[in-house]
Structure 1
């Protein structure tokens, strides 16, 4: 009976979704169970093997600078090789291999190598997104992004177990073992997903269009599509919002170090942060998203960024060592991030034309990376001088994002943004 009930729930969730979206959702947990805790604890891991906050910030900026290079190649490669094959080989290079490098990293140089390899995931960010979403009808896209974001966030429930292991065995041994397991698990997942997905209709057309072009010609074609971005109503404004949210995410890299070093929370206490994020995300997904479906995207983004600004301000007011207020505030920030990512991506894809989607999506990603390159190094330098100063800057950027969301909402009277889902 239990199996039948779970099967019924699964079918209802997947009802109306095409093959690629269903199977991407099915396999996503095998990525999330490793990536979610490892990305969360990564700054602690780097600190535990002797890296300074300045070096951690430099790694972040190096990663973004290399990501910018790979992002420029993402559109042409995705069009020439195909969404499916690009995703498989890109994931193996950008996730499987770096996992093993991180597992044995002893110094800054090893982390540089891993960051360089992992930066190539910007190519996969384009190919995977298109593989998953291109064959999905527009009204269903926010739903797909919401489910995928929910899966990754829910994997945060594993962090208390990782935190318990850290308290018993230490940060370095625990995370080395998890990186090794992640390298193996992700590799299995990538081949499995590749076997059960198919090239999209738009992907097939793009391959036909680009197969006769040389790589330089293909890149020039991409640049010509980028130059025409203004021809698509609302795309420039949504792109500006997208870029600024990526910049904010890079500034927030040091949140876990702020909670540990400045507010003096233990690794075990910090392990409950993602759990609170999961609880809020599930509530948002079940109770909030259905009610927001009736609202235009830009107005929804106003709400999400108002919550984000509130959380950023409250984080500066959390008393040292007080677990409950910290969990409430960080969970609020997690809910705001979940909503922002879901509706930001839905708004962006709604503005992309079916022809040239890979080129334009890659262009948005490239611009976001270019503008965010100095963010991590800047955050590391500010954090080293004044941890609270960094999070005051985050408040300012959050306020700017809210202002941009309000501007987008006002422009709905001239160019209405499409409904989310």
Structure 2
């Protein structure tokens, strides 16, 4: 008898997830009740406490440099402690503790301390990625990363909670409460993920191989791992794509809310609705257009489309006229179009950048190769926080001229230097079931 199953490949993957993949994806929406409530206000909160544009950009760069250090150590830590324990310990260090610092922050120095500690999230990013995909079929990896993106985007549905708090309590007091809330929810997320996961097969092998071996000895072995990366055209190409996407994300995450608030006159209370709408649109795209574009063997065309659409959104943002005072109807209409373009462009590029790295990585050295890859990407993207802060201090539109230039570079790299992936997949495996 023919067995009924969801026709949409994303739904099929979601329902079919088991073990670590299921626990990792199913706990992702908890971001919505924690960090996603507060992130739309993070930069504006810093401005309210007397931190200026150049300092905000500097903090973004310092955070990235902290991530470089932790990212370099992440492979060794993940191999020695195991994927599961590393994820739990460093989620507490990177998110739970900084949330308290942000909640109590008084000036630039508090944010500096939190930024340095928060850089430890690169360790858990490595271990969490391994926990997520090591026991998942390779053909399912792009869809699994799509589900992760969807889970994160659904979290924006909770944005009105933040808006109500800001309208009733004012920006500063509301954001402090939101950071305390994030402290509690992130602690719960850490426990749930630890409770419902097990160590991966590769993780158990690496823990056995690294038992009794010093950290310094393991770090010295990175030279051999570096050779694996340098000899792989696919890995180098995926690094270039990830670096461009990462730099654009850094600038947008830091200054998008600032420019619409300070330059285009959008009031504080409305700020969280913009990422909410962007996220809902992104979810819609992930269940409709994006699976149709990315289900086949060849990912070059969707990558080019993603860069082109994202570029259009960034240029449109720069072109929106600044109103006299508060934002007017035409401002919101143009911002809505920006959100539409960004939701698709950023969404598909995030999924493709992560998937390309995962698909090209050496399976047996995943944690250490990904550690070096992330470190390389962060070293390249780190200066863009400071550069965009410097540009924003002169003109708040200029950071987005910078991102537009980066996206043009991404288009050129993807068009001229594409390296084919999915060699191990047959067309039948790649088609939606």
Pairwise mapping of residues 45-60 of structure 1 onto structure 2 (< 5 A)? 45-60=45-60
Aligned CA distance change for structure 1 residues 11 and 336 (closer, same or farther; 3 Å): closer
Q: Distance in 1 between matches of 2:29 and 2:276?
A: 16
The corresponding residue for 1:254 is 255
From 315, 319, 322, the counterpart of 1:313: 315
Give secondary structure in 2 for the equivalent of 1:356: helix
Taking a change above 3 Å as real, the CA distance of residues 318 and 342 of structure 1, as seen in their structure-2 partners, is same
Q: Which among 376, 382, 386 is matched to residue 391 of structure 2?
A: 382
- Whether the 8 Å contact between 2:80 and 2:206 is mirrored in structure 1 is yes
Partner of 2:5: none
Q: Which residue of 1 aligns with 2:341?
A: 332
Q: Which moved more, 1:281-290 or 1:304-313?
A: 281-290
Q: What is the distance in 1 between the residues matched to 2:291 and 2:227?
A: 37
Q: Scaled by the length of structure 1, what TM-score is found?
A: 0.93
Give unpaired runs (5+ residues) of structure 1. Answer: 1-8
Aligned residue in 2 for 1:266 = 267
Aligned to 1:3: none
| Superposed counterparts of 1:9-408, under 5 Å | 12-252=12-252, 253-292=254-293, 293-294=295-296, 296-320=298-322, 321=327, 322-408=331-417
Alpha-carbon contact 2:24-2:193 (below 8 Å) kept = yes
* Shift in alpha-carbon separation, 1:34–1:141, aligned structure 2, 3 A: same
The offset of 1:233, in angstroms, is 4.3
Contact kept? 1:94, 1:120, Cα under 8 Å: yes
Q: 2: distance between equivalents of 1:129 and 1:161?
A: 30
Distance apart, 1:389 and its partner CA: 2.1
User: Does the 8 Å CA contact 2:310/2:341 hold for their aligned counterparts?
Assistant: yes
User: What's the secondary structure of 2:27's corresponding residue?
Assistant: helix
CA distance in 1, matches of 2:47, 2:345: 28
Partner Cα distance (2:234, 2:10) in 1: 35
Larger deviation, residues 268-277 vs 71-80:
268-277
Aligned-partner SS, 2:363:
coil
- Residue 38 of structure 1 deviates from its aligned partner by 1.7
- Three-state SS of the structure 2 residue aligned to 1:103 is helix
Q: Deviation per CA, 1:82-132, whole angstroms, max 9, x where unpaired? A: 101100000011111111111111111111111111111111110011011
Q: Following the alignment from structure 1 to structure 2, what is the Cα–Cα distance between the partners of residues 120 and 219?
A: 17
**Aligned-pair CA distance for 1:12:** 4.9
Structure 1 stretch displaced more, 118-127 or 270-279 = 270-279
Q: Is the 8 A contact 1:163 1:271 kept in 2?
A: yes
| C-alpha displacement of 1:52 | 0.9
Structure 2 residue runs of 5 or longer lacking an equivalent are 1-8
Matched position secondary structure for 2:397: helix
Q: What TM-score do you get using the length of structure 2 for normalisation?
A: 0.90
Kept in 2, the 8 Å contact 1:233–1:351? The answer is: no
| 8 Å contact from structure 1 (residues 297, 347) kept in 2 | no
**Structure 1 residues 399 and 10, CA gap change in structure 2 (3 angstroms):** closer
Distance 2:201 2:405 in 1: 43
Question: What RMSD, in angstroms, separates the aligned Cα atoms of the two structures?
Answer: 2.1
Query: 1:274: how far off?
Result: 1.7
Runs of 4+ in 1 over 6 A off after TM superposition: 414-421
- Superposed CA deviations along residues 8-52 of structure 1, whole A, max 9, x for unmatched, are x99955343230010112211223321123222210111111111
SS at match of 2:34: helix
Q: Distance in 1 between matches of 2:114 and 2:298?
A: 41
What is the CA-CA distance between 1:268 and the residue it aligns to?
3.0
Change in CA separation of 1:144 and 1:262 when aligned onto 2, cut-off 3 Å:
same
The number of equivalent residue pairs is 411
Q: Distance in 2 between matches of 1:129 and 1:147?
A: 13
Deviations 1:138-160 (A, max 9, x none): 11111111111111111112223
Please tell me whether the aligned partners of residues 276 and 328 of structure 1 are also in contact (alpha carbons under 8 angstroms): no
> 1:82 and 1:189 mapped to 2: Cα distance?
18
